[in-house]
Amino acid sequence: MNQTEYNGAVFARFCVYLKRFKLPFVAAITGMIGYSLIDVFVISQLEHAIDKSLVQGDLDYLRIAAYLIVPLFILRGVFNFMGTYTLSWIGNMVVMQMRQELFSRFVHLPVSFHDQHSTGQLISKVIYDTEQVSVAAGKALLTLVREGALVLGLLAIMFYKSWQLSLAFLVIGPVVALIVAYVSKRFRMVSKNIQKSMGNLTTSVEQVLKGHKVVLMFDGQEKEQNRFQDRNNHNRQQNMKLVVSRILSVSSIQVIASFALAVVLFISSMPGMVDNLTAGVFTSVVVSMTMLLKPLKQLTTVNSEFQKGMAACESIFMILDQQEEENTGVKKPQRVEGNLEFDEVCFAYDPQGEQVLKHISFSVPKGETVALVGRSGSGKSTISNLLTRFYQPQSGEIRLDGLPLADIELRALRNQIAVVSQQVTLFNDTIANNIAYGMEGVVTREQIVHAAKVAHVLEFAQELEHGLDTFVGENGLMLSGGQRQRIAIARAVLKDAPILILDEATSALDTESERYIQEALETLQKERTSIVVAHRLSTIENADQILVINKGEIVEQGKHKQLLDNNGMYAQLHRMQFTEGA
């Protein structure tokens, strides 16, 4: 598919959104065309007003015109409101639908997609790109239809009144079309660059606001200011390129149109033509040609807005065309026993890159706890990510109660698993609602309070003015790391899933909080199959089995005492932590 065909496909897909509003769209088109036709009608009557009234002295025509002019312009105003309001309504509805579809796609895309795209770029698509589509669906389409109808109407008057004088426009038409075609490509290319630079700007702001404390502590204000200045200036340059293209295209078309007007005036000055022209016909043709300059300018100007909208559509459609998270499973178990098996599992984040996990095999009977230990980057957390099917292994198989994970429907699978990770995500809502996230309407207030009590959330929540109904701020900004961790554990308690994943769950806690949390975790792990990714080895001494992971492979496996006696990597890690503790 060449570029022209691709652009046509993007426009056709955009029109699908407009087709959903057929009746309002017909009303909008009627209003815009009616608005322009009234202007055309008024200009068409200039010949009669001049020749009959002023030249021949028929003043009744002027009197009739005086009676009709006010109702005509009232009708013109009605048409203008009908076209403008309806098209703006359609534009906002289209943008609302696109934003909803984008948001829906974001929450259903796989984790790997979000790993490869910055949050700022994705936010920019929802906020900025969709706004450009709104302009294309509203202002641009309004001008294209309304001014296009006016141009056609004026040309019809000119050729009807004097086709000889109007022939000049047949010459400039193809030239104008060539300029518009070239400029449209330029507008589309520059618009894509503007969208990309807006994404970079959003990313810069987002990173600085999220990492504000790091910027302050490491004296990074000047560095971040310079980085933002470069991106801000690049965005300005791209916008100025769009402005230059718009100005040059408008000026070029108006100059060409002025040549046509000059030709008409020159032809009119010839003796043979003057004999056949009346004052009214000459005035009608010249006024029509003069009035053509404004709609031609607006059509060229709005072309840039329309091309920006089409470039934005292209950017949005690229996201909407992304494959959703693969969900091949059809089986929906209500509650599994919790028997886990990893069978020769291999995985790499980049299929062409080095494997992160190499032939991992182990099994966990229901109700038992397996701990994963090893140096950072050894692949411990990747195992838990494969279990939740955030990623798919390249080879091997993971089974739950004998069922391959790929055969279990995603929602049903994740309902069987509760996760408490090192990085706790809280929403700007109350403590109670954060604990019950995703289970609103399913659990009672008493169950939430019980979970908060088990996870020692009540101990700090009762000291707050609104208790469990206290808002925690963006990502729990109003709480300490330990308090956020307790809420995450309360979430897992409330979910009451048969499988529990603890990914460095106590790493953010002080000694006192860890004692409370360890007690809560031990209660939580009872009668559950648990996968514990641990850095502090003191927290997993009672695990049923410990797997030592190194460079994606299981190098040791056994219980705490047995591994210490083996004097291998686990014993070495244990000695290092014991020395640090001492």
Residue 229 pLDDT: 86
The amino acid at residue 179 is I
Residue 220, pLDDT above cutoff 50: yes
Residue 1, pLDDT above cutoff 70: no
Token pair 């038992």 is at which residue? 368
* Mean pLDDT computed over 374-402: 88
Q: Which residues of 73-89 are buried (b: 16+ CB within 10 A; e: fewer)?
A: eeebeebbebbbebbbe
Reported as a pLDDT band with limits 50, 70 and 90, residue 128 is confident
Residue 290 pLDDT: 73
- For residues 269 and 472, the model is more confident at 472
Residue 199, pLDDT above cutoff 80: no
Domains present along the chain, CATH in parentheses: 3-320 (1.20.1560.10), 340-581 (3.40.50.300)
Range among 129-133, 288-292, 293-297 with highest mean pLDDT value: 129-133
Residue 296, pLDDT above cutoff 60: yes
The amino acid at residue 543 is A
Tell me the C-alpha distance between 531 and 502, whole Å: 6
CB-CB contact of 132 with 312 (8 Å): yes
Dump pLDDT digits (tens) for 340-379: 999 999 999 887 778 889 999 999 998 888 989 888 888 8
pLDDT above 90 covers a percentage of the chain that reads: 4
Read off φ and ψ for residue 491, nearest 5 degrees.
-60, -45
Tell me the C-alpha distance between 521 and 515, whole Å: 10
Q: Residue 343 in 3-state DSSP? A: strand
Reported as a pLDDT band with limits 50, 70 and 90, residue 44 is confident
* Mean pLDDT computed over 62-67: 77
Residue 78 pLDDT: 92
Q: Residue 46 in 3-state DSSP? A: helix
* Mean pLDDT computed over 546-569: 88
Enclosing H/E stretch for 475: none
Tell me the HSE value of 15 on the side-chain side, using a 13 A CA sphere.
6
Reported as a pLDDT band with limits 50, 70 and 90, residue 5 is low
Dump pLDDT digits (tens) for 443-493: 888 988 988 888 888 888 888 888 889 888 877 778 887 888 888 888 888
CA angle 525, 529, 531 (to 5 degrees): 85
Enclosing H/E stretch for 296: helix 279-320
* Mean pLDDT computed over 559-575: 86
Residue 214, pLDDT above cutoff 80: no
Average pLDDT taken over every residue of the chain: 80
C-alpha to C-alpha distances, 245 to 202, 238, 285, 394, nearest whole angstrom = 26, 11, 31, 50
Reported as a pLDDT band with limits 50, 70 and 90, residue 272 is low
Tell me the C-alpha distance between 214 and 226, whole Å: 17
Closest to 541 (Cα-Cα) out of 352, 371, 417: 371
Tell me the C-alpha distance between 136 and 313, whole Å: 10
Tell me the C-alpha distance between 291 and 289, whole Å: 5
| Tokens matching residue 12 | 């056709």
Residue 507 pLDDT: 60
pLDDT above 70 covers a percentage of the chain that reads: 86
Residue 582 pLDDT: 42
Tell me the C-alpha distance between 228 and 533, whole Å: 38
Reported as a pLDDT band with limits 50, 70 and 90, residue 231 is confident
Enclosing H/E stretch for 362: strand 357-364
Q: Is the dihedral of CA 463, 466, 469, 475 positive or negative?
A: negative
- For residues 525 and 528, the model is more confident at 528
* Mean pLDDT computed over 429-450: 85
Closest to 495 (Cα-Cα) out of 410, 416, 408: 416
Neighbouring CB atoms inside 10 A of 578's CB total 11
Residue 71, pLDDT above cutoff 50: yes
Residue 242, pLDDT above cutoff 70: yes
* Mean pLDDT computed over 431-446: 84
Dump pLDDT digits (tens) for 149-181: 888 888 888 777 777 666 666 666 677 667 766
CB-CB contact of 405 with 580 (8 Å): no
- For residues 4 and 421, the model is more confident at 421
Read off φ and ψ for residue 344, nearest 5 degrees.
55, 50
Q: Which residues of 483-520 are buried (b: 16+ CB within 10 A; e: fewer)?
A: bbbbbbbbbbbbbebbbbbbbbbbbbbeeebbebbbeb
Helices 3-19, 22-44: inter-axial angle, 10-degree rounding: 100
Residue 178 pLDDT: 73
Enclosing H/E stretch for 440: none
CB-CB contact of 519 with 454 (8 Å): no
Return all residues near 268 (Cβ < 8 A) that are at least 6 apart: 165, 274, 277, 282
Residue 581 pLDDT: 47
* Mean pLDDT computed over 112-133: 82
Tell me the HSE value of 409 on the side-chain side, using a 13 A CA sphere.
8
* Mean pLDDT computed over 264-282: 66
Range among 76-85, 214-223, 303-312 with highest mean pLDDT value: 76-85
CB-CB contact of 17 with 97 (8 Å): yes
Start-end of H helices in 211-278: 212-217, 221-268, 271-276
